[in-house]
Amino acid sequence: MEAGTGTEAAPRKAPRRGERLEVEIDSLAFGGRGVARADGFVLFVAGGLPGDRVLAEVTKGKKRFAEARTIDLLRPGADRTPDRCIHGGEPCPGAPWQGLPYERQLAEKQAQVEDSLRRIGGLDGFEMEPIVPAVEEWRYRNKLEYSFGEGAVGTADEGVALGFHARGRWDLIVDVDDCKLASEAGNAARNGVREWARLEDVPAYDARARRGVLRNLVVREGRRTGQIQTRLVTTASRLPRPPVDLHTTIEGDSGGTDGPTGALGEERLHEKLCGLDFEMSHGAFFQTNTEMAERLYAVATEFAGLTGRERVFDLFCGIGTIGLSMAGAAGEVWGLEIVPEAIADAERNARRNKIENARFVAANARTGVRPLIEEAGKPDVVVVDPPRAGLSQKIVRRLIECEAQKIVYVSCNPTTLAPNASQLEEAGYKLRRVRPVDMFPQTPHIECVALLERHTSPTPPG
């Protein structure tokens, strides 16, 4: 009952999908969305930064919170900086934090790593070290993936468009001329393929009508070698020879870029990293910021504290970048990776750099660690660089069975690092140091390196 009225208070209604609200952004949530409040409900607003007053449209309603997207920036926050990377009048979707001053971006990332470890993992007593800032705040990406669509009729962009999906739209592509995340050479390569498509009148694929040819273009760059590698993804159709290195064909409505791939030019990408020469197949994982990958791996090597005698296991090793960068300071390195093509790349890279104390095995980390211990013996140091989902409970158990003195955990998601580190602490390890590394300026993505040391006999959880 409302005081003094004798009437019952009307229950507040949760915001509904499609509803538009004028709100002020208070802070940032993990993942980068702005946090606002409307009539007691929490709104997570894509495109909103602290201090902004925005018109937001609800995209998903829940009982206690709602998700929304910015429709209009009514009043920018006091600290907001002008957007530098804009396509079709909209901010670049790959740079959602470009309105935040860079020092504020670093502070937010540092705070979110620490908050995840303490709040989600219940961890304490570790040294939270200052974040390593990026070498370049712009034009740092060595890989970008673009989509084809139809440009607006009656405009300069009429014909094939090649760029990014418009915010909140899967069916509309915003044409891109100069993406400030890509190098000038990478932009030129993309624009050259679009010009070819327009001159040859090759149509974009229309998923709704299920017709057309052009789907995606992947541009990769060897930042230290100057090599630009382009891979065109199309339907299985006849078309004029495209000016690209690789051509992938996909049947059906798949939105991905994986399919049969033929080489029309240079098949492998070449790069220099940590004083070593690497080459990789088109599907191999490689950090998308070459300059910061060196700093990330330098932190991992520092945390490993190698003296030249240790046996190192490199789990989720990919093409061998971390393990091979540590090999000169280790006694021996053993890499484990589930993708056979990546292992072939790793072995090739070891030979290319005349590294003889590194071996690589194609196996799942869940089932491959025990056989690896039987073959190589137990490691002194284990390095893990898992995907965003982190380590499963079974892989954590395999990690504990290694009985390594040190575990160096390279994480791209502190919300999964936190529970993994907590599980390892329960098994006899102690989280000692954590250092974030800013691999992706203008975005909320966070990488960090954590050091865990064994201080009691390990006991597998569960």
Q: For 197-344, list the strands marked E by DSSP.
A: 214-221, 228-234, 246-249, 261-263, 269-273, 276-280, 311-315, 332-337
Question: DSSP for 48-67?
Answer: --TT-EEEEEEEEE-SSEEE
Distances 209 to 165, 171, 232, 251 between C-alpha atoms, Å: 18, 11, 21, 14
Long-range CB contacts for residues 296-299, cutoff 8 Å, separation at least 24: 296/132, 296/410, 296/437, 296/439, 296/447, 296/449, 297/273, 297/321, 297/322, 297/325, 297/326, 298/274, 299/132, 299/435, 299/437, 299/449
* Structure letter (DSSP) for residue 119: I
CA proximity to 331, closest of 352, 349, 306, 301:
306
Between CA 334 and CA 323 the distance in angstroms is 8
- CA 242 to chain CA centroid, Å, is 29
The token duo for 112 is 């979110």
* Structure letter (DSSP) for residue 206: B
CA proximity to 39, closest of 10, 7, 1:
10
Between CA 172 and CA 148 the distance in angstroms is 9
Residue in the structure block whose two tokens are 């997207």: 69
User: H or E segment at 299?
Assistant: helix 290-304
Between CA 396 and CA 245 the distance in angstroms is 40
Between CA 76 and CA 25 the distance in angstroms is 10
**Phi-psi domain of 6 (left: phi exceeds 0; alpha: psi -120 through 50; beta: other):** left
Whether 148 contacts 217, CB under 8 Å: yes
Using the CB atoms, write b or e for 381-416: b if 16+ within 10 Å.
Answer: bbbbbbeeebbeeebbbbbbebebbbbbbbbbbbbb
Catalytic option among 92, 402, 412, 448: 412
SS3 label, residue 120: helix
Known active-site residue 412: yes
Residue in the structure block whose two tokens are 């995907």: 387
Whether 101 contacts 442, CB under 8 Å: no
Residues recognised as catalytic? 412
